[in-house]
Amino acid sequence: MQRVAGVALAIATLLATTAFGGAANRTPEVRHEAPTCLDRSHSIPFVACVLPRSGVRAVDVVVRLPGSAAEQRQRLKSNMPCYSIPSDRVFKKNGAYTYFFEATLASGATMRSQLFHLTAASGDCASAVASGTSLPTPAPPRPRPAASPAPTPAPAPGPSATAPQARPHKSGKGRALLLALGGGVAGGIAAVAASRSNATATAAATPAPTFDGRIAGAWIGAQTLRYPSGCVEEDRIQLRLNESSGRVQGTLTFTVSTCLCCAVVQGGDHVSGSWDGKRLRLDTTGGLRYDGSVSGARLEGQLRGMGEITGDWSATQTP
C-alpha cells in the first residue's frame, strides 16, 4: 500500500486461502491501520487484528528497514481483541519502511498479509511532538467514500481502550494514529473506523484514569467470545457494579461490534460475584463466568460459559 494523503489505511487479507474453524468462509483476515509518519518515539504502532482469532497460534510482524533487504521479525503479543508489539521499537532511520504481518495457525500453516509501506522523514509528526496532544495542524483532506456506509454499530473498543493507555504519547487523530480494527466483515466498517479514530484520539488527549481500588461503578470495555466452531464474537461491554463487603452485583450489557458469524445485536445480564480488592469474579444470569484482575487502570481477564465458550474481556472505569 502506498502512502496516501491523510491517514493511510489498509485492509489486507492474509494471502492464504486456507480456512480453519471448519468453515470455508472463515479465512482469517488481518486488519491494520498504518501510520503516515512516526511520532516522537519513532515507533511504528504494530497493532493488528486477526479474525477469527481462534485457530491463530501466533502473529509476527516482519519489518524491512530502509535500504535493506533484511527482514526483522518480532512476535506480537495478544492484546485482546488484537495483537500488538510488546514494547515500542524505535526506528531512527529516515526512509521507506515496509512491513507485513504473518499469522501462524494451529495447523502450522502460515499466512501473510499484504505489505504496508511507511516513509519516515525528519520532523515527521513534529507538530504532534511539540504539542504532545492532538495535531495542531490540519490533516490533509481524505478520500471520501463513494457512498455512505450502512448504519451499523461500531466494534469493540479493545484497541481504543488499550492502545491509548499503552501508548500515551501517540498523537491524535489524523496522523500516526494507532488504530487497529476489530476485524469482521460486517457492514458499517466505516462507522467502525470513524468512531474508533475518534475514541482513540480522545483517549490519547486525556490521561487514562488510575484505578482507585473501588470496583463499584461503571466500566466500559470489550469482550471477545470464541465459540467451539471457531466463530468469534467481539462486543463492547458496559459493567455497572455495586459492591458491599466483597459481594458484587450489577449488570453487564453488551453490543456486538464485529462478528463473522452472529447477528449485530445487543443484550444484557444481571451479574453477581465477588471482589477481593484484586480479583473479580462475576457470574451472569446466562451462565458466563468472568474472572478478572486489575492491570494498571483496567480490569481484564477471561470468561467462559456453557457450550465451551471461552473468551477475554477488559474494561476501564468510567467517571
Partner 1 sequence: MRIWHPCLLAVLLAGVACQGTSPLATEPTPTPAPVCGDGILQPPEECDDGNADNNDACLVGCLTPPSWVTSDPHMHGWGCEQTQRGPEDLVRVLVDNDINVGAALVWGESPRVERELLTGQDSPASLPDHILHYDMEISHWAAQQTGHLVLLGLHEGTFSSNPKSSPKSGLRIVDWARAQGARVVVGMAHVQMALDGYYPDPNATCCVPWETPVHAVRGTLDFIETERRSADGVLDTSTEEMWTALQDSGFRVGVAGASDLSCIHHYMTMETPRTVAAVDPPLTYDRWLEALHRGRYTVVEGPRPDRLFLWVNGVGLGGELTAHRGDGLIVTIEMRSPTAPPVEILVNGHVAATLHPGSGHHVGTVRLEATTSAWIYARTRWVLTNPVYVVVDGQPVRASADHTCHLARYVGRLRWAASHGVIDLGSDSSIAWPAYDNAYQELQKRFREAGGDVCNE
Q: Which stretch binds partner 1 (CB under 8 A): 40-48, 68-76, 220-228, 291-299?
A: 220-228
Give the binding-site size for partner 1 (rule: CB under 8 A).
91
CA dist 18 and 166 (Å) reads 33
Nearest-approach distance from CB 197 to partner 1, in angstroms: 4
Question: Contacts with partner 1 in 178-207 (CB under 8 A)?
Answer: 181, 185-199, 201
Pairs from 62-69 (Cβ < 8 Å, separation ≥ 24):
62/99, 62/100, 62/101, 62/102, 63/89, 63/97, 63/98, 63/99, 64/97, 64/98, 64/99, 65/91, 65/93, 65/95, 65/97, 66/93, 66/94, 66/95, 66/96, 66/97, 66/120, 67/93, 67/95
Nearest-approach distance from CB 50 to partner 1, in angstroms: 15
Pairs from 108-114 (Cβ < 8 Å, separation ≥ 24):
109/16, 109/18, 110/16, 111/14, 111/15, 111/16, 111/18, 111/28, 112/14, 112/15, 112/16, 113/12, 113/13, 113/14, 113/15, 113/30, 113/32, 113/48, 114/1, 114/10, 114/12, 114/13, 114/15
Helix (H) or strand (E) holding 63: strand 56-64
Question: Contacts with partner 1 in 100-119 (CB under 8 A)?
Answer: 114
Question: Contacts with partner 1 in 290-319 (CB under 8 A)?
Answer: 305-307, 309
CA dist 236 and 128 (Å) reads 29
Q: Which three cell numbers stand for residue 48?
A: 493488528
Q: Quick check: 231 binds partner 1 (CB under 8 A)? A: yes
Q: Quick check: 265 binds partner 1 (CB under 8 A)? A: yes
Q: Quick check: 225 binds partner 1 (CB under 8 A)? A: yes
Nearest-approach distance from CB 205 to partner 1, in angstroms: 13
Q: Quick check: 158 binds partner 1 (CB under 8 A)? A: no
Q: Quick check: 266 binds partner 1 (CB under 8 A)? A: yes
Nearer CB in complex with partner 1: 42/97: 97
Nearest-approach distance from CB 74 to partner 1, in angstroms: 24
Question: Contacts with partner 1 in 21-40 (CB under 8 A)?
Answer: 21-23, 27, 29, 33
Q: What would the x/- binding string for partner 1 be over residues 61 to 100, using CB under 8 A?
A: ----------------------------------------
Nearest-approach distance from CB 191 to partner 1, in angstroms: 7
Q: Quick check: 58 binds partner 1 (CB under 8 A)? A: no
Q: What are phi and psi of 287, to 5 degrees?
A: 95, 15
Nearest-approach distance from CB 210 to partner 1, in angstroms: 22
Q: Quick check: 228 binds partner 1 (CB under 8 A)? A: yes
Among positions 67, 138, 143, 213, the unique one binding partner 1 when judged by CB under 8 A: 143
Q: Which amino acid is at 177?
A: L
